[in-house]
Structure 1
Amino acid sequence: MSRTAQTNTTTGDALLHRVMLGTVTSVPCCIFLFINVTMLFTLRSKAVFRESSRYILLFNLLVADTMQITLGQILYILSVCRTRLSYPVCGVLVMLSNITIEVSPLTLVVMSLERYVAVCQPLRHATIITITNTALAIMVVWAISSLNILVHVLLMLDFPFEDLDTLQMKEFCTSHAMFLGPMSYDYDRAFTCLVFVSAAAVIISTYIGVMVAARSASTDKASARKARNTLLLHLVQLGLSLLSTIHNSVVGSIARIVTRPILLIILNTLYVLVIMLPRCLSSLIYGLRDKTIRPVLLYHLCCRLKLKAGVSP
């Protein structure tokens, strides 16, 4: 009888622990998703946002970030619930997640080039940065990310799935669990390094170009200063995105030197701060910095309540 009671107590404690872990991440996730979805709605609410290349690129960045938050939370909840998926289902979730990871830095590159043209080639900006060219750039970004996933699929085809007794995974569904061979891991690391190094090089180059142009007497100083600050922001966002890609490696290293309870605390903290929060910063920073977006965003965030006499859009 006591053994049964002890088993029930252990089971109850385990269930309570899982609920707590899920709650700790789900609450911030819901807040971040609310902010991002509100920002996405804001960017589609007015013609000035829908017809400006700058805001269209921001919308694309937020779509990728919102998808990443959602998919990351789904995978996290599945692991907390100790749910093991089949290889095909896990593969689809991981592929969608990986696409969005690569879209963010590539979109930041396009946004940086748009700011560079706006400052350094102001007379040609309307000709170069058109809605058509912006849409084409976005399609190229998604195509590059999708091509990366296609290569991963081709590498996975070499894995002998027919030798497995079942397609049910023995591990929880993560990106690393889908690296079914050393070649997949090496390729992913090489591609990630190529994307982030190239993105950093482009953003730094555009920043230097804007600084040089700012010294010219014909350049609008205020516009150049704003562009320079925006490019610095892009560089910070790129660094935060890079942190999210090395999250698993960092956790793996920490796991070797700390106990499990401490590891769980560190794991949840890093997940919220490194994986989820950076994906929400774009909405907060751009929404509050941009004088055109700010009143509309605050209007929608406050559920369309009348804030002050000059705040409603």
Structure 2
Amino acid sequence: MNSNNSVFGQTLAQLHSKFIIVQVLVVIFICVNLLLIVTFFKNECFYTTARYILFAVTLLSDSFLFLVSDLLFIFAVFRVTMWVSLCSVICISVLLYLIVTPVTLTAMTLERYVAICMPLRHAELCSTRNTLHVILVIHGLSSVPYAVFLFTFFASASLDFYHQYRICSVEILIVYKWQDHIRSAVFQFYFLIMCLIIMLCYFKIMKVARTASEDDKISSKGLRTVALHAFQLLLCLIQFWYPLVTSTLTHIDFYSFEHVRFFSYIVFNLSPRCLSPLIYGLRDEMFFTALKKYLSCGLCDRK
């Protein structure tokens, strides 16, 4: 009896520590994002420039994703159940914005390609009007995989299933194994396509940058900016491995599954989205200058 109580106490302590770790990370992430979003809207030059508009889209989508996914995490910790029909709507919105950020970052890569390799057409192709159209295209492309996933769910689940009460998670939408295989295949396909686009664009960008730097037209600082942008995209593409990792863990015992799943969530989902805005927002010279100005004004106002 005592051994059972001690095991239960250890499990409860581990659960509380995981809960605290996730909440601290989410609060830090949301605070950083809110600061970057406020800085974006306080400077007109940002919301009339294509790459900053797309950056704001990633901030908003990531913030929404973390708020909703954290809410689901809290429900799971405290064993709160809800209708499967309501859960399916929440999960689809989470899955949609899980892919919006990488697709947006791929669009930002194409914008950098146009800016460096086609500078004379950059103003025309990357106008504010065209950028808004691109945002619609991004959401359309992001919804395609989950339209397929949702169709397979509706085709597989019975009507009674929607009225059941379950702890909400994406896994409840997977009624049969073949649905999980379809999800993994779609993620891998998107991962491959975006990797190819990023590689092709950056090979061309680096080639142009190196050629120009020989004539002192582009400084080494510009090359570092390109490298940092590529690293940011890589971090956000890592999240595509999260569902692939979790889908392979269902064959091990539940206790180990929970530990590895939590680790995968931190490494593949939380970390890339926390580091991405820091790398792009705080390392971008123009944005960082505006951020410092906004913070200094705020401190002066307090004094």
- What amino acid maps onto 2:227 in structure 1? N
- What amino acid maps onto 1:236 in structure 2? L
- What amino acid maps onto 1:213 in structure 2? V
Matched-pair identity in %: 25
Q: Is 1:292 the equivalent of 2:286? A: yes
Q: Please report how far the alpha carbon of residue 141 of structure 1 lies from its aligned counterpart in structure 2 after TM superposition.
A: 0.7
2:270 to 256, 270, 276: 276
Q: Please report how far the alpha carbon of residue 22 of structure 1 lies from its aligned counterpart in structure 2 after TM superposition.
A: 2.2
Instruction: Summarize deviations over 1:235-290 as a string: whole Å, max 9, x none.
Output: 4224422233334236546x54xx93x76555444433332121121221112211
Find the aligned partners of 1:305 and 1:251 in 2 and give their Cα distance: 49
Find the aligned partners of 1:105 and 1:188 in 2 and give their Cα distance: 17
- 2:134 maps to 137
- 2:234 maps to 236
Secondary structure of the residue that 2:155 maps to in structure 1?
coil
TM-score calculated relative to the size of structure 2: 0.84
1:210 to 205, 217, 222: 205
1:63 to 60, 63, 73: 60
Find the aligned partners of 1:164 and 1:98 in 2 and give their Cα distance: 20
Structure 1: tracts of 5 or more residues without a match = 308-313
**2:65–2:98 Cα contact (<8 Å) kept:** yes
Q: Is 1:76 the equivalent of 2:70? A: no
Of the structure 1 ranges 267-276 and 147-156, higher mean CA displacement relative to structure 2 is found in 267-276
Secondary structure of the residue that 1:21 maps to in structure 2?
helix
- 2:171 maps to 176
1:123 to 120, 123, 142: 120
Q: Please report how far the alpha carbon of residue 164 of structure 1 lies from its aligned counterpart in structure 2 after TM superposition.
A: 4.8
Sort the Cα spacing of 1:205 and 1:17 in 2 relative to 1 into closer, same or farther, 3 A.
closer
TM-score calculated relative to the size of structure 1: 0.82
- 2:38 maps to 41
Q: Please report how far the alpha carbon of residue 96 of structure 1 lies from its aligned counterpart in structure 2 after TM superposition.
A: 0.8
Secondary structure of the residue that 1:85 maps to in structure 2?
strand
Secondary structure of the residue that 2:120 maps to in structure 1?
coil
- 1:311 maps to none
Q: Is 1:191 the equivalent of 2:186? A: yes
Sort the Cα spacing of 1:16 and 1:209 in 2 relative to 1 into closer, same or farther, 3 A.
closer
Q: Which has the higher helix share?
A: 2
Sort the Cα spacing of 1:241 and 1:162 in 2 relative to 1 into closer, same or farther, 3 A.
closer
Find the aligned partners of 1:204 and 1:219 in 2 and give their Cα distance: 25
Find the aligned partners of 2:249 and 2:210 in 1 and give their Cα distance: 45
Q: Please report how far the alpha carbon of residue 152 of structure 1 lies from its aligned counterpart in structure 2 after TM superposition.
A: 2.4
Count of matched residue pairs: 298
Secondary structure of the residue that 1:46 maps to in structure 2?
coil
Q: Please report how far the alpha carbon of residue 210 of structure 1 lies from its aligned counterpart in structure 2 after TM superposition.
A: 1.2
2:146 to 145, 149, 152: 149
- 1:221 maps to 218
Q: Please report how far the alpha carbon of residue 155 of structure 1 lies from its aligned counterpart in structure 2 after TM superposition.
A: 1.7
Secondary structure of the residue that 1:221 maps to in structure 2?
coil
Find the aligned partners of 1:50 and 1:79 in 2 and give their Cα distance: 38
- 1:201 maps to 196
Find the aligned partners of 1:109 and 1:85 in 2 and give their Cα distance: 36
Of the structure 1 ranges 131-140 and 18-27, higher mean CA displacement relative to structure 2 is found in 18-27
**Larger relative contact order (CA 8 Å, sep ≥ 6):** 1
Find the aligned partners of 1:219 and 1:147 in 2 and give their Cα distance: 44
- 1:310 maps to none
Q: Please report how far the alpha carbon of residue 142 of structure 1 lies from its aligned counterpart in structure 2 after TM superposition.
A: 0.4
Sort the Cα spacing of 1:136 and 1:11 in 2 relative to 1 into closer, same or farther, 3 A.
same
**1:119–1:213 Cα contact (<8 Å) kept:** yes
Find the aligned partners of 2:274 and 2:71 in 1 and give their Cα distance: 17
Secondary structure of the residue that 1:82 maps to in structure 2?
coil
